[in-house]
Amino acid sequence: MVWSAKRIAVIGASRNKKEYSRSLFQELLKHGYDAIPVNPNADKLDGKKCHKNISTDITEKITTDKIPRKIAYKLCKYGPEQMPSIFIDKSVPPNDKMLAEALGKSARHWMTIKAHLSERCGEWTEEWKYYNPKSGWIMKVLRKKRNLFFFFPSGSYFTIAFVFGDKAASAAEKSDLPADLKEYLRSARKYAEGKGIRIDIKTAEDVVNIKKLIEIKIGH
């Protein structure tokens, strides 16, 4: 395993030794990394002082980038389909402050999407749910009781997942969405509820496409 970073903050390192975040923290230590646990509800983990907040409680230089997936797989023997959300400690439900800190600069993209939701939907709600140790905490965005999309925080960016029924998929095909996005929807796996697609939000252009997909979802 080769990675240039040596001092790494593990945000949400769990007190529960069976949790993925604790396993990752322990394996980093075993591989010679100076892993720093961050958990506001713990004092020490495996003999290491547990910090309360990454932005105000840690003075030394650390790596805050997301751990490369290939390295995480090797450390904890997780397959690609089993990678968890960035929020993986069941005992620590995410809040707005934690989310903004985790997303960093991409938080502005989420704020733009939220403003669009308020303008188009009026009342809408965010609902965090802990699914399992593999998935961690995932947000559902609902209009009244109808699920609009799922939100997956991934560190420096986030992913939004839609499920489109036949009418919504047909409307997307007739829309001015980019050709590659239409092709993605055509070839997407179909579930009982419809076709599922996931979009990584990293640029302003991605936000524009998400707004269009939200419009289609609302209308169908």
Domain of 22, CATH number, reads 3.40.50.720
CB atoms within 10 A of CB 103: 21
Helices (H), the chain: 20-30, 69-76, 96-103, 107-121, 166-174, 179-187, 204-219
Q: Do residues 198 and 106 both lie within one domain? A: yes
Residue scoring higher pLDDT (38 or 171) = 171
Q: Is 212 exposed, middle or buried (0-12, 13-18, 19+ CB in 10 A)?
A: middle
Average pLDDT, the chain: 80
- Report if residue 128 sits inside a domain: yes
Q: Do residues 183 and 118 both lie within one domain? A: yes
Q: Do residues 124 and 165 both lie within one domain? A: yes
Backbone angles phi, psi at 37, to 5 degrees: -75, 135
Residue 40 has pLDDT above 70, yes or no: yes
Q: What pLDDT was estimated at residue 133?
A: 75
pLDDT band at 63 (very low <50, low <70, confident <90, very high): low
- Pick from 61, 83, 105: which residue ends a domain? 83
Helix, strand, or coil (residue 141) = strand
- Report if residue 139 sits inside a domain: yes
Query: Which amino acid does the sequence have at 16?
Result: N
Q: What pLDDT was estimated at residue 62?
A: 57
Residue 9 has pLDDT above 70, yes or no: yes
Name the domain count of the chain.
2
pLDDT band at 132 (very low <50, low <70, confident <90, very high): confident
Provide the residue range defining the domain that includes 200: 97-219
Q: Do residues 102 and 210 both lie within one domain? A: yes
